[in-house]
Structure 1
Amino acid sequence: MFTSTPVLPSKFLHLKHLSVDLNAMTFPPTYDYCSLISLFDASPSLETLVLNVLQRKMLHESIVGDTSNLRQIPGHRHDRLKTVKIIGFSSAKSVVELTCHIIENTASLQCLTLDTTTGHPWHSCLTNYSGKCLHLRVDFLVEVGKGLLAIKTYVEPKVPSRVKLNVVEPCRRCHDLEPLS
C-alpha cells in the first residue's frame, strides 16, 4: 500500500509541468495526499500542477463533520507554482489539507481549479453530443456535495484575492444537486 511519496530534494530541477494521476476505482484509504509535498519540493521550477485524485468510491477520512483541526505542514515554499488543477476534488481530509498547504505556501499562485467531477469535458452537457450529462452515481454525487462544502468551508476563506479560484461541479440542469450545509 502507498503510505508516502519519498523523493530526494531537488531531483527534478528543471521540471515545469507535472501531471500526477492517482485515480483508481477504490484508492487506498491509507494514502496521505500531503506526502506529495516532497515531490513539489523536489521540483523547484514547477509552474503547473495537474493532480487527478478521482475516486469512484471515496474511502478516505472526510473533513465534513470532522471537528479536528487541519494539519499544518511546516515550511515548504513553492515559489514558481502558478497554476494548480485538482481533478476529482473530494472531502478527503488530506486532499483538503494539501490544497490549503498549496494556497498558504505558494505566493506565485495565479489560478486554482478544483474539479469535483470526473474531469472529462465530454461529461458536460454543454460539450456532449447528446446534450445531456452522462449519468453519475448517487454516491458520487453525494461526495461531490461534500467536496463543494469542503471548498466553501476550508478552501475559499484561504484563497487570496490575487488567485483565480475555479470550482467545477456537475451541471445542475442534469444532476439535482442539493448543497450540503
Structure 2
Amino acid sequence: MARRRRLMKRIIFATGNEGKMREIRRIMEDLDVEIFSLKEAGIQADIVEDGSSFEENAVIKAKTVCELTNEVVLADDSGLEIDYLNGEPGIYSARYMGEDTSYRIKNQNLIDRLAGVPQEKRTARFVCAVAAAYPDGTVKTARGTMEGIIGYEERGENGFGYDPIFFLPEYGCSSAELSMEEKNKISHRGKALEAIKEVLL
C-alpha cells in the first residue's frame, strides 16, 4: 500500500461534470494527489453505461478510462431513487427525459408525477457508487446514500441536478440550500468518496 501511495500523484476522475468535480476536489483535498477530469486530462471516450446497477456503471467508466490511460482512474455513478415511483429515475437519472433536457424541466416533471402524494410517501434517496480502477486490473468500489423526501418546489442555488427538489427534513432545507461544506459531510457522494479514500490510502 505504501508503494502505491508514493507512486500515485495523479488520479483521473472519469467525469466532465464541473459541479461534480468541485465537490470531488473539496472532499479529496486531503490526499496528496492531483485530480483531473476527463477534459483536463485530454481524454475523449465514448463510454456506454449499460450496467444494471450504479456499481456496474461506475466500474465500466473507471475500467474503460484506465485501459486507455494506464493510470489510476476513479469514476462514479449516482442517481435519485424515489420510492413512490418504484425507484425511478434510478440508474437512468442523468438520462431521464433525455440527457439534453434541463434539470429544471426534469425536476418539475418529478414534482408533477408526485402531485397529491403525501409527505410520508415522498421518500427518496441519492445513491452514489464510486469505482477505483488500477492498471494492474484491480477494481474497488464503495457506496454512499443520503435519505430525504421529494419537495413540492425547487429550492436553493448551491447544488446541481436534482438537489433543488431533494428535501432534508432534519435540516429543514433542500440539498441545494446547504453549503458545500455541509453537503459534503452528509451527501451520498461524500460518503462514497470517503470510503474509497480508505482504499486509495
Instruction: Calculate the TM-score normalised by the size of structure 2.
Output: 0.27
Structure 1 or 2: more strand by fraction: 2
Instruction: Calculate the TM-score normalised by the size of structure 1.
Output: 0.29
Structure 1 or 2: more helix by fraction: 2
Structure 1 or 2, whichever has the larger Rg, is 2
